[in-house]
Amino acid sequence: MSMLDRRATLTLLATTGVISALPLRLALAREEGERVNAALLHKEPEIGDMVMGAKDAPVTIVEYASATCPHCANFHKLDLPVIKKEYVDTGKVRFIYREFPLDQLALAAFMIARCAPKEKYFPIIDMLMKTQETWVRNPREELLKIAKLAGMTEAQFDACLKNRKVALGITSMAREAERSFGVNSTPTLFINGRKAVGMHINDLKKVIDEELKKASGG
Protein backbone atom coordinates (compact mmCIF):
# COMPACT_ATOMS: atom_id res chain seq x y z
CA MET A 1 0.00 0.00 0.00
CA SER A 2 1.29 3.43 -0.88
CA MET A 3 2.16 5.39 2.25
CA LEU A 4 1.02 8.59 0.55
CA ASP A 5 -2.29 6.98 -0.34
CA ARG A 6 -2.83 5.68 3.18
CA ARG A 7 -1.84 9.04 4.66
CA ALA A 8 -4.29 10.89 2.42
CA THR A 9 -7.15 8.63 3.46
CA LEU A 10 -6.33 8.82 7.16
CA THR A 11 -5.90 12.59 7.00
CA LEU A 12 -9.45 12.90 5.75
CA LEU A 13 -10.68 10.61 8.50
CA ALA A 14 -8.75 12.50 11.15
CA THR A 15 -10.91 15.55 10.49
CA THR A 16 -13.88 13.65 11.92
CA GLY A 17 -12.17 13.34 15.29
CA VAL A 18 -13.47 9.80 15.84
CA ILE A 19 -10.53 7.56 14.96
CA SER A 20 -9.75 6.97 18.63
CA ALA A 21 -13.28 5.65 19.15
CA LEU A 22 -12.79 2.67 16.86
CA PRO A 23 -12.96 -0.84 18.30
CA LEU A 24 -9.51 -2.40 18.30
CA ARG A 25 -10.29 -6.08 18.85
CA LEU A 26 -8.89 -8.26 16.06
CA ALA A 27 -9.12 -11.85 17.26
CA LEU A 28 -11.66 -14.29 15.87
CA ALA A 29 -13.24 -15.92 18.90
CA ARG A 30 -15.50 -18.95 18.99
CA GLU A 31 -18.51 -18.43 21.22
CA GLU A 32 -21.78 -20.23 20.73
CA GLY A 33 -25.17 -20.12 22.33
CA GLU A 34 -24.94 -16.98 24.49
CA ARG A 35 -28.14 -14.97 24.30
CA VAL A 36 -28.59 -11.24 24.52
CA ASN A 37 -31.70 -9.11 24.90
CA ALA A 38 -33.20 -9.49 21.43
CA ALA A 39 -35.54 -6.51 21.81
CA LEU A 40 -32.59 -4.26 22.63
CA LEU A 41 -30.46 -5.81 19.89
CA HIS A 42 -33.14 -5.30 17.26
CA LYS A 43 -33.74 -1.67 18.23
CA GLU A 44 -32.68 0.45 15.29
CA PRO A 45 -29.56 2.57 15.97
CA GLU A 46 -29.57 6.30 15.35
CA ILE A 47 -27.74 5.93 12.04
CA GLY A 48 -30.38 3.46 10.85
CA ASP A 49 -30.23 -0.22 9.96
CA MET A 50 -29.43 -1.72 6.58
CA VAL A 51 -31.76 -4.66 6.08
CA MET A 52 -32.47 -7.51 3.70
CA GLY A 53 -35.61 -9.61 3.92
CA ALA A 54 -39.18 -9.42 5.14
CA LYS A 55 -39.93 -7.26 8.15
CA ASP A 56 -42.20 -9.96 9.59
CA ALA A 57 -39.75 -12.85 9.10
CA PRO A 58 -39.79 -15.22 12.12
CA VAL A 59 -36.01 -15.10 12.54
CA THR A 60 -33.82 -12.00 12.61
CA ILE A 61 -30.08 -12.27 12.06
CA VAL A 62 -27.84 -9.34 12.99
CA GLU A 63 -24.29 -9.38 11.65
CA TYR A 64 -21.52 -7.13 12.95
CA ALA A 65 -18.70 -6.98 10.41
CA SER A 66 -15.55 -5.05 9.54
CA ALA A 67 -14.76 -4.16 5.94
CA THR A 68 -11.08 -5.07 6.36
CA CYS A 69 -11.69 -8.39 8.12
CA PRO A 70 -10.72 -11.43 5.96
CA HIS A 71 -13.11 -13.67 7.90
CA CYS A 72 -15.94 -11.25 7.10
CA ALA A 73 -15.01 -11.31 3.42
CA ASN A 74 -15.08 -15.11 3.41
CA PHE A 75 -18.44 -15.17 5.17
CA HIS A 76 -19.86 -12.64 2.73
CA LYS A 77 -18.57 -14.49 -0.32
CA LEU A 78 -19.26 -18.07 0.75
CA ASP A 79 -21.87 -18.28 3.50
CA LEU A 80 -24.13 -15.24 3.14
CA PRO A 81 -25.29 -16.24 -0.38
CA VAL A 82 -26.48 -19.57 1.07
CA ILE A 83 -28.33 -17.84 3.92
CA LYS A 84 -29.84 -15.34 1.51
CA LYS A 85 -31.04 -17.98 -0.95
CA GLU A 86 -32.40 -20.47 1.59
CA TYR A 87 -33.72 -18.16 4.28
CA VAL A 88 -33.85 -14.46 3.37
CA ASP A 89 -35.35 -14.81 -0.11
CA THR A 90 -37.91 -17.32 1.19
CA GLY A 91 -39.23 -14.97 3.87
CA LYS A 92 -37.81 -16.94 6.81
CA VAL A 93 -35.04 -14.54 7.85
CA ARG A 94 -34.65 -10.79 8.17
CA PHE A 95 -30.95 -9.97 7.87
CA ILE A 96 -29.53 -6.80 9.46
CA TYR A 97 -25.99 -5.75 8.55
CA ARG A 98 -24.20 -3.50 11.04
CA GLU A 99 -20.78 -1.94 10.69
CA PHE A 100 -18.13 -2.75 13.30
CA PRO A 101 -14.95 -1.18 11.86
CA LEU A 102 -11.78 -2.57 13.40
CA ASP A 103 -9.55 0.09 11.85
CA GLN A 104 -9.57 3.42 10.04
CA LEU A 105 -9.72 1.93 6.55
CA ALA A 106 -12.78 -0.11 7.45
CA LEU A 107 -14.43 3.04 8.77
CA ALA A 108 -13.63 4.88 5.54
CA ALA A 109 -15.09 2.07 3.44
CA PHE A 110 -18.26 1.92 5.49
CA MET A 111 -18.65 5.69 5.33
CA ILE A 112 -18.63 5.50 1.53
CA ALA A 113 -21.34 2.83 1.64
CA ARG A 114 -23.44 4.99 3.98
CA CYS A 115 -23.02 8.15 1.91
CA ALA A 116 -24.18 6.46 -1.29
CA PRO A 117 -27.89 6.16 -2.19
CA LYS A 118 -29.53 3.56 0.06
CA GLU A 119 -30.20 1.15 -2.79
CA LYS A 120 -26.46 1.10 -3.50
CA TYR A 121 -25.50 0.09 0.04
CA PHE A 122 -25.46 -3.69 -0.29
CA PRO A 123 -23.91 -3.65 -3.78
CA ILE A 124 -21.08 -1.52 -2.32
CA ILE A 125 -20.65 -3.90 0.63
CA ASP A 126 -20.53 -6.76 -1.86
CA MET A 127 -17.79 -5.02 -3.85
CA LEU A 128 -15.83 -4.19 -0.70
CA MET A 129 -15.82 -7.80 0.43
CA LYS A 130 -15.08 -9.31 -2.97
CA THR A 131 -12.22 -6.89 -3.71
CA GLN A 132 -10.93 -6.52 -0.15
CA GLU A 133 -7.37 -7.64 -0.94
CA THR A 134 -7.14 -4.99 -3.67
CA TRP A 135 -8.59 -1.89 -2.04
CA VAL A 136 -6.83 -2.30 1.31
CA ARG A 137 -3.50 -1.99 -0.53
CA ASN A 138 -4.52 1.14 -2.43
CA PRO A 139 -7.46 2.55 -0.46
CA ARG A 140 -8.04 6.01 -1.85
CA GLU A 141 -7.84 5.06 -5.51
CA GLU A 142 -9.83 1.84 -5.18
CA LEU A 143 -12.48 3.22 -2.81
CA LEU A 144 -12.93 6.18 -5.15
CA LYS A 145 -13.54 3.73 -8.00
CA ILE A 146 -16.21 1.99 -5.96
CA ALA A 147 -17.77 5.32 -5.00
CA LYS A 148 -17.90 6.41 -8.63
CA LEU A 149 -19.60 3.14 -9.61
CA ALA A 150 -22.25 4.07 -7.05
CA GLY A 151 -22.71 7.45 -8.72
CA MET A 152 -20.57 9.64 -6.46
CA THR A 153 -18.16 12.31 -7.69
CA GLU A 154 -14.66 12.72 -6.28
CA ALA A 155 -15.82 15.86 -4.46
CA GLN A 156 -18.69 13.91 -2.88
CA PHE A 157 -16.25 11.12 -1.97
CA ASP A 158 -13.94 13.54 -0.14
CA ALA A 159 -16.87 15.26 1.55
CA CYS A 160 -18.17 11.90 2.72
CA LEU A 161 -14.87 11.03 4.41
CA LYS A 162 -15.10 14.33 6.31
CA ASN A 163 -18.70 13.73 7.38
CA ARG A 164 -18.52 13.65 11.16
CA LYS A 165 -22.18 12.67 11.55
CA VAL A 166 -21.74 9.52 9.47
CA ALA A 167 -18.47 8.61 11.20
CA LEU A 168 -19.94 9.06 14.67
CA GLY A 169 -23.06 7.14 13.71
CA ILE A 170 -20.98 4.13 12.73
CA THR A 171 -18.55 4.24 15.64
CA SER A 172 -21.31 4.84 18.18
CA MET A 173 -23.13 1.77 16.90
CA ALA A 174 -19.94 -0.27 17.21
CA ARG A 175 -19.34 0.93 20.76
CA GLU A 176 -22.89 0.02 21.71
CA ALA A 177 -22.33 -3.47 20.28
CA GLU A 178 -19.23 -3.84 22.46
CA ARG A 179 -20.89 -2.49 25.57
CA SER A 180 -24.34 -4.08 25.38
CA PHE A 181 -23.83 -7.27 23.39
CA GLY A 182 -20.21 -8.23 24.02
CA VAL A 183 -19.11 -7.99 20.41
CA ASN A 184 -15.32 -8.22 20.34
CA SER A 185 -14.53 -9.89 17.03
CA THR A 186 -15.86 -10.07 13.49
CA PRO A 187 -17.95 -11.42 12.02
CA THR A 188 -20.29 -11.79 14.98
CA LEU A 189 -23.84 -12.92 14.28
CA PHE A 190 -26.91 -12.95 16.50
CA ILE A 191 -29.72 -15.29 15.47
CA ASN A 192 -32.86 -14.14 17.30
CA GLY A 193 -30.47 -12.89 19.97
CA ARG A 194 -28.39 -16.07 20.06
CA LYS A 195 -24.70 -15.30 19.59
CA ALA A 196 -22.80 -17.14 16.87
CA VAL A 197 -19.10 -16.53 16.25
CA GLY A 198 -16.78 -18.55 14.02
CA MET A 199 -19.42 -21.10 13.05
CA HIS A 200 -19.31 -23.24 9.92
CA ILE A 201 -22.25 -22.67 7.56
CA ASN A 202 -23.77 -26.04 8.46
CA ASP A 203 -23.74 -25.09 12.15
CA LEU A 204 -25.28 -21.71 11.35
CA LYS A 205 -28.06 -23.38 9.38
CA LYS A 206 -28.70 -25.71 12.31
CA VAL A 207 -29.11 -22.75 14.68
CA ILE A 208 -31.35 -20.92 12.20
CA ASP A 209 -33.52 -24.02 11.80
CA GLU A 210 -33.77 -24.39 15.58
CA GLU A 211 -34.92 -20.77 15.90
CA LEU A 212 -37.42 -21.24 13.08
CA LYS A 213 -38.82 -24.28 14.86
CA LYS A 214 -39.16 -22.32 18.11
CA ALA A 215 -40.85 -19.44 16.30
CA SER A 216 -43.41 -21.82 14.81
CA GLY A 217 -44.18 -23.30 18.22
CA GLY A 218 -42.35 -26.53 17.52
Q: Does some domain include residue 218?
A: no
Q: Does some domain include residue 217?
A: no
Q: Does some domain include residue 176?
A: yes
pLDDT digits (tens, 9 = 90+) for 8-60: 555 555 545 544 455 544 333 335 568 999 999 999 999 999 999 999 999 99
Domain count, the chain: 1
CATH code at position 16: 3.40.30.10
Q: Does some domain include residue 201?
A: yes
Residues in the chain, overall count? 218
Q: How far out from the chain centre does Cα 114 lie?
A: 11
Q: Any idea what the Cα angle at residue 130 is, between residues 128 and 135, rounded to 5°?
A: 50
Phi, psi dihedrals of residue 113, rounded to the nearest 5° = -60, -40
What residue numbers bound the domain in which 53 lies? 3-211
Give this prediction's pTM. 0.87
Rounded Cα gap, residues 145 and 122, in angstroms:
16
pLDDT digits (tens, 9 = 90+) for 132-153: 999 999 999 999 999 999 999 9
CB 193, CB 29: distance < 8 Å: no
